[in-house]
């Protein structure tokens, strides 16, 4: 059951109850809405999902938000990601993040297979270098054609070319 915590009060949000796929989008929409509403606010998303992380970073940058936005694992001892700082530090790659996230398979692989937020953040650093050094044609991953997608798969992801 989704729960809202505001000013020290917890309240159930029946309007946000949803399936898993929809939950990623609803969590992101609510967090971005809160961050837009009050630029001085601190929004904390309690979630362990790399899909949500990718969506938050992408929309944080594209909406030019100023609020503090963090993503905290619900499991004690796990990392807390500063989405604001991540989006700022990786601003060269964040506009392409959703496409890169899908191309790498991160959007369909659980953290139990070793692709959690920390590893994705490290992968972002490598991807930023790839975009600046290895992508001489500055291929946009927002809407690649088949030839460009084949090149990305072969060069960056070490996958066989598309046929």
In a domain, 57, yes or no: yes
In a domain, 161, yes or no: no
In a domain, 147, yes or no: yes
pLDDT for position 5: 81
Give Cα 41 to chain centroid, integer Å: 20
Distance CA 33, CA 49 (A): 19
In the predicted model, residues of the chain with pLDDT beneath 50 are 110-113, 115, 134
In a domain, 162, yes or no: no
pLDDT for position 42: 95
Distance CA 27, CA 105 (A): 21
pLDDT for position 7: 84
pLDDT for position 106: 59
pTM given for the model: 0.61
* Helix (H/G/I), strand (E/B), else coil: 142: coil
Question: Quick one: which of 62, 52, 45 has its CA closest to 23?
Answer: 52
pLDDT for position 107: 55
Distance CA 140, CA 150 (A): 13
In a domain, 163, yes or no: no
In a domain, 149, yes or no: yes
Total residue length of the chain: 163
pLDDT for position 3: 79
β strands within 13-90, DSSP E: 42-46, 68-72, 80-82
pLDDT for position 38: 92
pLDDT for position 87: 93
In a domain, 49, yes or no: yes
Split into its structural domains, the chain has a count of: 1
Q: What is the domain range of residue 134?
A: 3-155
- Cα of first residue to Cα of last residue in the chain, in angstroms, is 45
């Amino acid at each position: 059951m989704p729960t809202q915590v505001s000013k020290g009060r917890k309240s159930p949000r029946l309007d946000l109850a949803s399936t898993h796929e929809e939950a990623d989008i609803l969590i992101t929409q609510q967090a971005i809405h809160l961050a837009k509403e009050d630029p001085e606010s601190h929004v904390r998303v309690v979630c362990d999902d790399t899909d949500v992380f990718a969506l938050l970073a992408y929309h944080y940058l594209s909406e030019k938000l100023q609020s503090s936005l963090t993503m905290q694992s619900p499991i004690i001892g796990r990392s807390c990601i500063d989405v604001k700082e991540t989006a700022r530090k990786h601003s060269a790659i964040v506009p392409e993040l959703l496409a890169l996230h899908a191309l790498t398979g991160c959007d369909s692989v659980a953290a139990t297979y070793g692709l959690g937020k920390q590893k994705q953040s490290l992968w972002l650093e490598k991807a930023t270098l790839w975009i600046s050094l290895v992508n001489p044609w500055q291929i946009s991953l927002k809407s690649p054609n088949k030839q460009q997608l084949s090149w990305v798969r072969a060069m960056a992801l070490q996958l066989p070319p598309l046929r």
